[in-house]
Amino acid sequence: MTDNRIECCKCQTPMQPGYLMEKGHGNKHSITTWARGQPQKSFWMGLKSPQEKLETRTYRCPRCGYLETYAPTTIA
Ligand SMILES: [Zn+2]
């Protein structure tokens, strides 16, 4: 993904880069993570830690509010 100018697929407005935030352990903020495969429940952790996971980046259209999320293999 070398082109940073991502346009909204609904209204072709340039989208703003950002990310989806969630609260993790101790109310620490973290970035929503993409995990490969199916979620596996763990008694202690809620969900078992996945083998492969990637940080995500989400783009938002300032015009219509559409969100588009990417999980690049390398985070710029
Ligand atoms: Zn839009």
* 9-62 pLDDT per residue, tens: 999 999 999 999 988 778 888 889 999 999 999 888 788 888 889 999 999 999
> What's the CA gap between 59 and 66, in Å, rounded?
8
Q: What is the pLDDT of residue 75?
A: 59
CA 19 / ligand 1 centre spacing (Å): 17
Q: What is the pLDDT of residue 8?
A: 97
Question: If residue 42 lies in a helix (H) or strand (E), which one and from where to where?
Answer: strand 41-42
Q: What is the pLDDT of residue 23?
A: 82
Number of Cβ atoms within 10 Å of the Cβ of 62 = 11
CA distances from 36 to 1, 20, 53, 66 (A): 20, 18, 6, 24
> What's the CA gap between 8 and 12, in Å, rounded?
5
Q: In this structure, which residues have their CB less than 5 angstroms from ion ligand 1?
A: 8, 10-11, 13, 61, 63-64, 66
Q: What is the pLDDT of residue 50?
A: 86
| pTM given for the model | 0.75
